[in-house]
Amino acid sequence: MREVVFDTETTGLNAASGDRLVEIGCVELVNRVETGRTYHAYFNPERSMPPEAQAVHGLSEAFLSDKPLFGDLVEDLLDFLDDSPLVAHNASFDFAFLNEELSRINRPDIAPARMIDTLALSRTKFPGAKHSLDALCTRFGIDRSHRIKHGALLDAQLLAQVYIELTGGRQIGLGLADAPLAAAPADAGRALTAPRVARPARPHAATPEELERHQAFLTKISDPLWALDRDQEDLAAA
């Protein structure tokens, strides 16, 4: 199954009030395994960059001024997304910005049914814990030392690892239970496939001679707890 993990950077927190998408990063997963295929783009938001937003992601108005508009790259982005489920952290935020940009160029929204929210998964799995991307990386031992500021592609790559851990860990895609056994040489394991020969049961009852030696041994012990009484001796000797 193909899935796309993605993250966005924006000029602010509210797409409906005029904040814009400025960066998107996407990572392809197939059967919960990263394929190495990614998509990354910066967009000119056609507006100023608030200082508080720039402090988060480090993208200045000057840096973005010569970047393409969202509409210029939308076909490449949609081709990468295809019809796959889309994984994001606090996914309603990213979906809101993505769909607002699509609406601006008269393109249909991406259906909410495609949304997989790792924030919701984390809250269900670890109630009462911290659920930020940093906190989840720490929980799962994922190295984020190179994350100085937020970046869409870097955060999507970290989130892909978090998502794999949230949904079963790194062995989930190995298919060990369903994998066919590899073909073996014709003579391999011959001892395992040879007909088994039934053997008669081994006698385990004590012989009269063994019982006699046992009784002689017990006479040397004062009041032994495991001494056989006469009926037991007769039964054992029968």
Residue with tokens 């939308």, as numbered in its chain: 74
3-class secondary structure, 88: strand
Q: Is the backbone of residue 38 left (phi > 0), alpha (psi -120 to 50) or beta?
A: beta
Contact criterion met (CB below 8 Å) for 101 and 20: yes
CA-to-CA distance for 53 and 26, rounded, in angstroms?
Answer: 21
Q: Is the dihedral of CA 225, 226, 231, 233 positive or negative?
A: negative
CA-to-CA distance for 238 and 232, rounded, in angstroms?
Answer: 10
Angle between helix axes 91-104 and 118-125 (nearest 10 degrees) is 170
CA-to-CA distance for 158 and 132, rounded, in angstroms?
Answer: 12
Specify the pLDDT at position 181. Answer: 40
Residue 146 bears catalytic tag: no
Contact criterion met (CB below 8 Å) for 7 and 14: no
The one catalytic residue in 57, 89, 131, 150 is 150
Q: Which two tokens stand for residue 52?
A: 């508080």
Strand ranges for 137-182 from DSSP E? none
Per-residue DSSP letter, 196: P
* 8, 143, 151 from 49: Cα distances, Å: 15, 30, 16
Q: Where are the domains of the chain?
A: 2-166, 208-237
Q: From first to last of the 238 residues of the chain, give the pLDDT tens digit.
A: 999 999 999 999 999 999 999 999 999 999 999 999 999 999 999 999 999 999 999 999 999 999 999 999 999 999 999 999 999 999 999 999 999 999 999 999 999 999 999 999 999 999 999 999 999 999 999 998 887 778 899 999 999 999 999 998 865 444 444 444 444 444 444 444 456 666 676 666 778 888 888 788 878 887 776 665 554 544 444 4
Q: Which two tokens stand for residue 216?
A: 């002689």
Specify the pLDDT at position 177. Answer: 45
CA-to-CA distance for 168 and 183, rounded, in angstroms?
Answer: 29
CATH assignment, 2-166: 3.30.420.10
Q: Which two tokens stand for residue 44?
A: 């000119």
Q: Which residues pair with 2 in a beta bridge?
A: 30
